[in-house]
Amino acid sequence: MNEQLIGQGFFHLEKDDEIWGFDRRWTVFSNVVWVNITDRLIDLLGPVAKRQIYEVGFSSGLLAGQKIRPHFGGGFEQFKSHVNLSHAMGWGSYTFMEYNEESSEIVMESPNMWEAEGYRELHPKETSSFPRCLMSAGIAAGAAQAAMDISYECEEELCISKGDRTCRFILNPSGDAKKVIR
């Protein structure tokens, strides 16, 4: 097979120009398309839509984390490698990442998350009333759970869509608790 490796080698571009990774085909669309979808869902369903968008990210992050575990063996290094794939996929880069071994809290920051940048592109004269990176927060929580073997919830504390200088995510062990996203 004549293929080009992309995304730190976890994805490849096949001869027919399809992108494959984690045993599935990937589709590329603009950040603005995503913001249009989420705007409409949130307008219709409010906080229920926000939680469901987060859960879509969570289940995707968990599944991908389980698939890459044989390559990385779990732990914080696996989590870092997993979320750093977002940069290779054009979803943003993390410029700060810290793990507290005592509390298992993870803090990470990104100045260019795809959801927040899409919001700014679609609504250039507005700031959002809430953090927009719902799917990214869910992906991070799922990736953390797969890597660390404990349940995580992720909250976006700062968001560039709200006018903050960075998107800041706080991940904490959650047990069975699910946070209400308002």
Q: 153-169: per-residue pLDDT in tens?
A: 999 999 999 999 999 99
Query: How would residue 87 be classed by pLDDT, with cut points 50, 70 and 90?
Result: confident
How far is residue 137's CA from residue 143's CA, in Å, rounded to a whole number?
10
Query: How would residue 1 be classed by pLDDT, with cut points 50, 70 and 90?
Result: very low
What's the DSSP call for residue 111?
S
- Does pLDDT of 139 surpass 70? yes
Question: How is residue 12 written in tokens?
Answer: 């490849």
What's the DSSP call for residue 123?
S
Q: Domains, the chain, ranges and CATH?
A: 30-173 (3.30.1380.20)
Question: How is residue 2 written in tokens?
Answer: 């004549």
